[in-house]
Amino acid sequence: MDAFGRGPKGRLEDQRMLTGKGRYVSDWTLPDQAYGHFLRSDRPHAKIVSIDASAALAMPGVIAVITGAELVSAGLKSIPAAAPFKWSDGSEQRSALRPSLAHEVVRHVGEPVALIVAGTAAQAQDAAEAVAIEFEELPAVTTAAEALERAAPRLHAGAPGNLVLDFEGGDKAATAAAFAKAAKVVKLRAYHSRVVGNPMEPRAAMGSYDAAKDMYFLHGTTQGVGPMRGQLSAVLGVAPEKVRVVAEEVGGGFGVRFNAYPEYGALLYAAKKLGRPVKWVGTRSEVFLGDEQARDIVHSGELALDKDGRILGMRFDYLSNLGAYVAFTGAVVNTIGLVNVNCGVYDVQAVHVRGRLVLTNTVPTAAYRGAGRPVASYALECLIDKAAHELGLDPAEFRRRNMIPKSKMPYKLTGGFEYDCGDFEGVMDKALKNSGWNDFQKRKADSKKRGKLRGRGIATYIEMTAPGGFAPYDQAHVTWEDDGSVTLRTASHNHGQGHETTFAQIVSGVLGIPMEKIRLRTAEAGYDLVANPTGGSRTLQGLGSAMFFASQEIVKNGMALAAEELESAQTDIEFVSGSYRIKGTDRLVKIENLAKKFKGKLDLDYKERPKVPGTFPNGCHIAEVEIDPETGETEIVSYVACDDAGTIINHQIVEGQMQGGITQGAGHIFTEQTVYDSSGQLLTGSFMDYAMPRAGLVGGLTVTDFAVPTATNPLGAKGVGEGGVTGSMPCLMNAVTDALREVGVQRLDMPASQERVWAAIQAAKAGKPEAMAISTAA
């Protein structure tokens, strides 16, 4: 354990969670609560001709049936969408906003059409079957490429041609010049498939309204109360102060618990109208039909190379399927997320990115672990691997040749950002060594003897963590309790990252009290605090730094009190291990005793201070897979991750984050796939059809770190929450591609499921080496 209290520790929250004492949304009960059930569209695209709720209203226990028309006449608005980029011609992002309940038109299967409120959840569900909706079907479109075609059905009047945004980033002219002088150009077009986030806790929410205070309360699954509250206040047309988002445990988020969802506005409206809380607990089916989905991007990349295998320029073109509406973070992940670290870890000053964001009759897509960076990293690192192969170079050597050397730090990117620090070669060298890079051919030969194809994949990644543009500052509210313990309050929300432990470590390290005496509280009904939500792997840097500064300020504030207590001059007092001491003597007072005596004087509401700037965690991942060419069965036999997360506060948690992220990326590559048929029906609507990764999917997983502490925050830390996904996807696909080359397969798009790998091998034997590539997915 060092001075910051950093060290290998179990998590403070585990005891509560593992013994079933956590309170999730469905555990909340408010007096007189009623229950809601959402009737969802079974049509991908249709006009709502009429809704007849009379039979439902006559059923036992039914209190109300609320429709989109009622919400519109009551003045409810759609959920706003962030618009971080303009069109390349300078015009604004087109509008295609999501209403709380569909009005006049439904645009995807699963869209909520009516809210049935009853005395019990079962009564509400039964009554939903008696609501008669007359639809007039409209043609539907499910892929971005088809939606752009002239004859495609149009989804929103505000988005002609279904195109919400056509933007550019980077330096177009410099890139064109680089390509003009290239000795060789390497191209890759690929598909980043659509996934469903699937946190363990399905979405649930309870709306209530306090008439005396004229305030709305939403008990819900949230990653942080700020943006959700802002979105709900826009929907309800009230000031943000009139809305509180309340949560204790949140059973996973992965980005899909970030935004306000349609159901929330409808529940809050119903609670006010009916004068009683209305609770809705979603099912796993509703996760598939109603949670924001993710990715679904076709991307093309090109590298301009000189004759020595140096990259002169890069060009990327992304076609993103936004689904039926622009979700709040829909455009963020498909713009900022794709361009902010545009050259990866490579020393390339000519990069150009174009992105088109397109509407289709599918569930809206938005943030999902990595929020665009895994897509950018996948596009780049698969392309880099292809280039190495075409040049006949060792893929690590090709990367090394082009890496930004640490001597060039800080390094300015085309487009504005600046990498503050990093040693990309150092990171890669450690990964190479740990993976036994040079002995691969021996292992490949062994596999061959056993009839298996062995492939090796490598990928580097870099991402930006911490800026957090959703709140102006990160508030850390610190209160000393009567028993000498400390309560920390903030507005970010822990949903699996271990914040209770790591923030306690940070504060304990400064205040010198045991971390077990420090409690973190977030999203309480009685507190109205400001902080960025948990996302973008920013929370340790952003909020952890605020906690650190707040603790330091408390220690400083205690000096005068300690001087009074010890009857000494402040200049003679030092703070050591939780006590103020007169230097050179054994006369001291513990900070917790001082806090008890001077009640409230050592509390601190740390707010309105500048946020710490962003920084750039990075890593190098190397995987080996074995494929059975007879069956297509693929096994990940080893996986070595080496990541630079700067200074690590808690190694156990960081390792867990990396393991989870890598497995999530592996799930995307090998098992998960969201499939719509061409009419817009979701074919993969349950775990019977949608395969989540199992814990054992990533065999031989070793996580190591190579720390280059950043000076952008006082902890020296960089984010880790998403790096596992960002690194693992290209790494694993490169390994599969490497193995399949031996049997003539040139391209395979994700998922590399057993069936698709087998089919790719069969097709290659029949002379079609790219049969399972993009042409089948677009």
Closest CB to ligand MCN among 279 and 499? 499
| 36 vs 535, beta carbon nearer ligand MCN | 535
Helix (H, G, I), strand (E, B), or coil: what is residue 374?
helix
Structure tokens at 429: 């060298």
How crowded is the C-beta side of 197, counted as CA atoms within 13 Å?
Answer: 29
Cβ atoms within 10 Å, residue 203: 21
Judged by beta carbon, residue 110 or residue 535, the one nearer ligand MCN is 535
Least Cβ distance, residue 192 to ligand MCN (angstroms): 17
| Cβ distance to ligand MCN smaller for residue 224 or 277 | 224
User: CB under 8 Å, gap of 24 or more: what pairs does 70-74 form?
Assistant: 71/99, 71/100, 71/101, 71/103, 71/265, 71/266, 71/269, 72/99, 72/103, 74/269, 74/273
For the CB of residue 238, give the shortest distance to ligand MCN in the complex, in Å. 29
- Joined together, the tokens standing for residue 674 give 């969201």
Which amino acid belongs to residue 695? A
Question: 723 is written with which tokens?
Answer: 């790096």
- Smallest gap from Cβ 575 to ligand MCN, in A, equals 24
* Cα separations in angstroms, 484 against 367, 553, 557, 592, 602: 40, 18, 17, 5, 11
Least Å distance, CB 543 to ligand MCN, is 8
Binding site for ligand MCN (CB under 6 A): 199, 252-255, 369, 495-499, 502, 534-540, 544, 645-650, 653-654, 657, 660, 717-722
Tokens of 696: 């054992």
CA angle 458, 460, 464 (to 5 degrees): 155
Packing angle between helix 395-402 and helix 424-435, nearest 10 degrees? 170
Question: Taking the complex as a whole, how short is the minimal distance between the CB of residue 496 and ligand MCN, in angstroms?
Answer: 2
Our CB check for ligand MCN shows the closer of 208 and 657 to be: 657
The smaller minimum CB distance to ligand MCN, of residues 334 and 539, is found at: 539
Question: CB-wise, 537 or 734, nearer to ligand MCN?
Answer: 537
**Coil, helix or strand at residue 678:** coil
The smaller minimum CB distance to ligand MCN, of residues 153 and 660, is found at 660
What's the min distance (Å) between Cβ of 499 and ligand MCN? 5
Q: Closest separation between CB of residue 653 and ligand MCN, Å?
A: 5
In whole angstroms, what is the distance from residue 622 CA to residue 600 CA?
53
Q: State which residue, 466 or 748, has the beta carbon closest to ligand MCN.
A: 466
**Under a CB-based contact definition with an 8 Å cutoff, are residues 639 and 662 in contact?**
yes
Torsion angle of the four alpha carbons 769, 770, 772, 777, in this order, in degrees rounded to the nearest 10? -170
Question: Residue 463 Cβ, how far from ligand MCN at the closest point, in Å?
Answer: 10
- For the record, the structure tokens of 580 come out as 């103020």
Give the 3-state DSSP-derived string for 82-103, with helices as H, strands as E and coil as C: CCCCCCCCCCCCCCCCECCCCC
Alpha helices (H) along 490-584: 499-511, 539, 545-566
DSSP letter assigned to residue 734:
H
Three-state DSSP class for 110?
coil
Render 28-56 in DSSP notation, one character per residue.
---TT-EEEEEEE--SSSEEEEEEE-HHH
In angstroms, what CA-CA distances link 352 with 2, 78, 300, 306, 347? 45, 34, 12, 18, 14
Amino acid identity of residue 206, one-letter, is M
In the complex with ligand MCN, the residue whose CB is nearer, 17 or 576, is 17
The half-sphere exposure of 552 on its side-chain side, counting CA atoms within 13 A, is 9
Q: Shortest gap between Cβ of 710 and ligand MCN (angstroms)?
A: 9
In sequence order, the 6+-apart residues with CB closer than 8 A to the CB of 729 are 374, 377, 378, 459, 665, 668, 669, 750
331 versus 720: smaller Cβ distance to ligand MCN: 720
Q: Which residues lie closer than 8 Å to 393 by C-beta, 6 or more apart?
A: 309, 401
Q: Smallest distance from the beta carbon of 70 to ligand MCN, in angstroms?
A: 34
Residue 422 Cβ vs ligand MCN, minimum distance, rounded to whole Å: 14
Q: Kindly state the smallest distance separating residue 541's Cβ from ligand MCN, in Å.
A: 6
**Closest CB to ligand MCN among residues 395, 646:** 646
Cβ-based neighbour number of residue 564 at 10 Å: 14
């645009």: which residue's tokens?
Answer: 107
Residue 397, number of CB atoms within 10 A of its CB: 12
Q: Least distance in Å: CB of 484 to ligand MCN?
A: 24
First-to-last C-alpha distance (Å) of the chain: 52
Using the minimum distance from each CB to ligand MCN, give the nearer residue, 9 or 189.
9
**Dihedral (C-alpha) 371, 377, 379, 381: value to the nearest 10 degrees?**
-170
- Pick the closer one to ligand MCN by CB: 337 or 719: 719
Shortest distance, CB of residue 464 to ligand MCN, whole angstroms? 12
Read off the amino acid at residue 133: I
Q: What is the largest CA-CA distance in the chain?
A: 90
> To the nearest whole angstrom, how small is the minimum distance from the Cβ of residue 657 to ligand MCN?
5
Cβ 706 to ligand MCN shortest distance, Å: 12
Task: Give CA–CA dist 7/756, Å, rounded.
Answer: 44
| 104 three-class SS | coil
Q: Burial level of 20, CB count in 10 A (0-12/13-18/19+)?
A: exposed
Q: Are 53 and 118 in contact (CB under 8 A)?
A: no
Nearer to ligand MCN, 95 or 652 (CB): 652
Kindly tell me which of 661 and 751 has the beta carbon lying closer to ligand MCN: 661
Q: Considering beta carbons, is residue 196 or 653 the nearer one to ligand MCN?
A: 653
Q: Considering beta carbons, is residue 423 or 722 the nearer one to ligand MCN?
A: 722
How is residue 478 written in tokens? 């610190």
Please state the closest distance from residue 342 (CB atom) to ligand MCN, in A.
Answer: 20
**Three-state DSSP state, 581:** strand
Q: How many CA atoms lie within 13 A of 447 on its CB side?
A: 23
194, 321 contact by CB (below 8 A): yes
Shortest distance (Å) from residue 652 CB to ligand MCN: 9
